[in-house]
């Protein structure tokens, strides 16, 4: 307490010394600042605020409230506001003003301060119009106003004071103030329009991006639907081929058909089921009926004809020929066979009903069968060039069940190169993949 009293005493001495060195205009500004600070701290229920309030009440007119606030501490923000309010006294022009002009400048300073901090509870409520009138009444005692003062109140609750003095002592024109307000409104309208344009541009970009996405989505959906339809159609074809009977008789092709027709004609003409034995019997009959050779006549010898009476030959009955043993059929000719198959089913089984002796649009694999081992065949991928793209598109169904690849497929690949033939086995009349062929996508 002793320390606080000592600081207060020093502040009072300093204030007293400054009062003698200041003129009336500066003392009036200090009085204004002190009264505003008193009104502010009177409404703050806090120990240090109340201590500052008590010291401000004890100091005389013209004391500097900023020094009191700094001495107690904890309220430097209020001290900064008081410094802002008292800046007027530090201008040389204000010091040299007449009392009437200084009074008008102080009124304007208070009105601007109240307008700036009206929404702040620490300044708006304590500095009500009634409190401001009390403060300005004390200023009028220090600096008497002009003989015909402006009847307009210094501070209005709803709008700033019109016709107040500026730092240079000139009044604010109401027309200029209205023009300034109109300019502010126009500026705000322009800013609002700019933001609306930016918002419209952003919305347009979003709508455009959405439309592009929708178009791309529809195109992709159509392509997926088309591929799904193709897959379903191929699946149905595969199921239909799988359900067909596999033991249908195979029709001879080309030269085989002509040879079979000639064989059937020979059998029909001979009237036997074993044309080979009939041919052998014909050969034996032709060798047994050869005519006897005529006697040879030498040159230079007389020809003597011997007259020999013919003797009757005894009639002999010809014994029947013993039956010939049945002839064994000739062994088949050893020759290789080449034929073609469409793609197998997912289990690697080929449909015999789709077997073809020549390359057809549906053919995909070429089989080679050696007559020495007719139950085993080697096969390789072989298709018409115009159908390779279709097989690549549906490689999961048409290539992968019978082939392995050295590399992965990409859309840049357009043909298939063979690396190693595969092997198929004939099981229960059905060809089935045993070893897949090795290919490469190129």
pLDDT above 60 for 317: no
Domain annotation covers residue 341: yes
User: What is the value of pTM for the model shown?
Assistant: 0.31
**Average pLDDT for 316-339:** 62
Domain annotation covers residue 250: no
pLDDT band at 222 (very low <50, low <70, confident <90, very high): very high
Q: Are 155 and 228 members of one domain?
A: no
Q: Which domain holds residue 128?
A: 2-166
Q: Are 102 and 156 members of one domain?
A: yes
Q: Are strands 403-405 and 437-441 parallel, antiparallel or unpaired?
A: parallel
Domain annotation covers residue 282: no
pLDDT above 90 for 259: no
Q: Are 82 and 141 members of one domain?
A: yes
Q: Are 214 and 196 members of one domain?
A: yes
Domain stops at, among 214, 240, 266:
240
Cα–Cα dist 438/436, whole Å:
7
Q: Are 32 and 111 members of one domain?
A: yes
- What is the percent of the chain with per-residue pLDDT over 90, rounded to a whole number? 27
Domain stops at, among 112, 134, 166:
166
Domain annotation covers residue 119: yes
Continuous segment of H or E residues that includes residue 177: helix 174-243
Q: Are 120 and 29 members of one domain?
A: yes
Q: Are 9 and 99 members of one domain?
A: yes
Q: Are 98 and 116 members of one domain?
A: yes
Q: Are 96 and 47 members of one domain?
A: yes
Q: Are 229 and 122 members of one domain?
A: no
Domain annotation covers residue 44: yes
Domain annotation covers residue 216: yes
Using an 8 Å Cβ cutoff, are 380 and 421 in contact? Answer: yes
Q: Are 124 and 6 members of one domain?
A: yes
Domain stops at, among 188, 211, 240:
240
The residues, any chain, with a CB within 8 Å of residue 97's CB and separated by 6 or more, are 25, 105, 169
Q: Which of 263, 270, 284, 277 has its CA nearest to residue 326? A: 277
Cα–Cα dist 122/39, whole Å:
10
Domain annotation covers residue 307: no
| pLDDT, tens only, 81-116 | 888 888 887 888 888 888 888 888 888 888 888 888
Domain annotation covers residue 284: no
Q: How many domains is the chain built from?
A: 3
pLDDT above 80 for 242: no
């Amino acid at each position: 307490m002793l320390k606080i009293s000592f600081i207060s005493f020093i502040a009072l001495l300093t204030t007293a010394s400054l009062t003698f060195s200041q003129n009336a205009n500066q003392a009036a500004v200090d009085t204004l600042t002190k009264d505003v600070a008193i009104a502010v701290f009177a409404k703050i229920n806090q120990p240090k605020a109340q201590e500052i309030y008590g010291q401000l009440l004890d100091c005389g007119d013209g004391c500097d409230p900023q020094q009191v606030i700094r001495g107690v501490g904890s309220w430097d923000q209020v001290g900064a506001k008081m410094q802002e309010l008292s800046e007027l006294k530090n201008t040389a022009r204000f010091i040299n003003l007449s009392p009437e002009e200084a009074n008008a400048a102080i009124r304007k300073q208070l009105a601007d301060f109240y307008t700036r901090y009206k929404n702040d509870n620490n300044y708006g409520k304590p500095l009500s119009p009634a409190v401001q009138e009390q403060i300005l009444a004390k200023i009028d005692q220090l600096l008497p106003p002009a003989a015909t003062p402006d009847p307009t109140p210094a501070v209005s609750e709803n709008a700033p004071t019109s016709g107040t003095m500026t730092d240079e002592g000139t009044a604010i024109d109401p027309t200029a103030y209205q023009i300034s307000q109109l300019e502010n409104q126009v500026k705000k309208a322009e800013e609002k329009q700019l933001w609306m344009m930016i918002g419209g541009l952003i919305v347009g970009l979003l709508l455009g991006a959405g439309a592009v996405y929708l178009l791309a989505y529809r195109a992709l959906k159509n392509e997926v639907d088309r591929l799904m339809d193709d897959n379903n159609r191929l699946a149905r074809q595969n199921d239909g081929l799988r359900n067909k009977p596999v033991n249908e008789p195979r029709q001879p092709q080309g030269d085989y058909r002509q040879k079979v027709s000639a064989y059937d004609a020979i059998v029909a003409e001979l009237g036997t089921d074993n044309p080979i034995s009939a041919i052998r019997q014909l050969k034996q009959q032709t060798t047994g009926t050869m005519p006897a050779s005529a006697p040879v006549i030498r040159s230079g010898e007389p020809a003597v004809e011997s007259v020999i009476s013919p003797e009757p030959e005894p009639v002999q009955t010809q014994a029947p020929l013993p039956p010939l043993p049945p002839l064994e059929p000739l062994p088949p000719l050893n020759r290789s066979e080449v034929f073609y198959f469409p793609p197998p089913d997912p289990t690697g089984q080929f449909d015999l009903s789709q077997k073809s002796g020549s390359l057809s649009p549906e053919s995909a694999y070429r089989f080679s069968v050696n007559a020495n081992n007719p139950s085993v065949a080697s096969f390789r991928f072989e298709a018409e060039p115009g159908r390779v793209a279709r097989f690549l598109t549906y490689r999961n169904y048409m290539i992968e069940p019978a082939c392995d690849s050295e590399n992965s497929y990409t859309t840049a690949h357009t043909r298939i190169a063979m690396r190693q033939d595969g092997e198929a086995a004939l099981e229960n009349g059905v060809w089935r993949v045993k070893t897949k062929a090795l290919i490469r996508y190129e």
